[in-house]
Chains A and B, each alone.
Chain A
Amino acid sequence: MFKYFLILSLFVSSIGFSQNSAFKAGEKLSFTASYNMSGVLTELAQVNMETSEVKTSKATLLRLKCTAATYSKWDSFFKIRDLYESYVSPTSVKPYLYKRDIYEGGYSKFVQYNYSHSKGTVKSLIRKKKKGGGTYDQNKTLNMSSGTKDIVSTIYYLRTLNLSSYAPGKNISLTVLFDNKPTEIVVTYLSKETINTNIGSKSCYKLAISVKNSNVLKGTNDNLLWLTADENKIPVFAKFKVAVGNGELKIKSATGLKS
């Protein structure tokens, strides 16, 4: 009897500690990015989001990897081969290392952030191409507030939130470090909605995303994200408003889910 009690108490305490019940290593999500103008869809690129385990001598971390590659018909016009990575704690999704290595139509850039949570600083490295050839490095140490994340870990962090307890209209503010600037993102829980996706009809949490003091995303409540209303909280659909028409991100396949 005592043994069962011990197991139960350990299990309950583990729920208190671990926040991430949404994803594990080995998950692979594949999306199609497209441009929608009055219902006519033009497919632009494939976006993949993968998780894997990374072992160092001190700890085991989770590698969150996002890649974007344009479809072959676009390659001769505007080729995109982007790689975004974040190495995070498997339980709290706290980032330790962030890497962004992009190639977009001839322009390439490399960004790396080394987080030091104990000191509250981020060591940033930006590597750009020189005009004459070769590269140059830009090193900086930035101060960060606690809870600052990068773009990749923020997307995954949203999945760890307990959205089922949220009332419609509830806001959450998150600080995202992008291009060496801390940017505040406000996520609003709107409602529950059932939508049709490539992986079946899903009941979803509908979230609106806005960026404070920036005009990157247009309109209010026009930039939306749908997360499935189950334990996995998979992002199945995203919509963002651009000057003419909409940009869309639709799920194509999802494998290696936690539950």
Chain B
Amino acid sequence: MRKLCIVLGIISSVLALVLSVLPLSNLAYFPAIAALVFGFIAFYMSNKNNQSKKTIQLVFLLTTIAFSISIYKSIFNTVEVGNTEELEQREIKSEEKAIEELEELDLDIDDLDIDEKELDIDTEDLNLDDLEIE
């Protein structure tokens, strides 16, 4: 039981350390907490039977490092979008090409009619405003 806890503790603390270094550092809390739990169980058992605690110290050390990296990252790292210059260039080029494509397409006349009707309404509304001012 003690050995199993130590092995599981080491595995989860290493996993926590790996996750804390990656951009997924927030997820490192889960294995770090598991490592602490396994570590405490193993520590309690070793104390009871007067056995060596060297490996358990390693588990605690790795977990502490993982925790500190994750907490540091979550406090000081602000999220920001990387370089989008290339994407913006693509957007502009795409719009230019799209206009050329749209010129060749057969657009429905119905929609255009609606546009004109809406424009008429706008001017009528303006007239109404004028009357109200008078």
Contact = CB atoms under 8 A, between A and B. Distances in A.
A221 interface: no
Interface string A95-106: 011010100000
A106 to B, nearest CB: 14
A7 B86 contact: no
Interface stretch (B37-45, B48-56, B59-67, B118-126): B118-126
B82 A85 contact: no
B45 to A, nearest CB: 29
Interface residues of A, number: 55
Given A63-B95, A118-B106, A43 B117 contact: no
A91 B91 contact: no
Contacts of B81: 46, 69-72
Contacts of A190: none
Contacts of B94: 83, 85, 99, 101
A58 B112 contact: yes
B134 interface: no
A14 interface: yes
A180 interface: no
A253 interface: no
A65 B115 contact: no
B114 A7 contact: no
Contact of B23 (A67, A74, A112): A74
Interface band, chain B: 35 or more
A54 B102 CA distance: 10
Interface stretch (B1-9, B10-18, B24-32): B24-32
A28 to B, nearest CB: 13
B98 interface: yes
Contact of A57 (B29, B90, B103, B124): B103
Interface in A28-82: 32, 37-38, 40-43, 46, 54, 56-61, 63, 65, 67, 69-75, 77, 79, 81
Interface of A: 4, 6-7, 10-11, 13-14, 17-18, 32, 37-38, 40-43, 46, 54, 56-61, 63, 65, 67, 69-75, 77, 79, 81, 83, 85, 87, 89-92, 94, 96-97, 99, 101, 112, 114-118
23 contacts: A10-B124, A11-B121, A14-B121, A17-B118, A40-B30, A42-B23, A54-B102, A56-B99, A56-B107, A59-B112, A61-B107, A67-B91, A69-B82, A71-B80, A71-B81, A71-B82, A72-B82, A77-B23, A89-B111, A92-B111, A97-B101, A97-B105, A117-B108
Which 9 A-B residue pairings sit nearest by Cβ, starting from the closest?
Answer: A72-B82, A73-B23, A89-B111, A75-B82, A81-B87, A71-B79, A56-B102, A17-B114, A43-B79
Given A67-B91, A72-B83, 6 more contacts: A10-B117, A54-B99, A56-B103, A57-B103, A72-B81, A115-B105
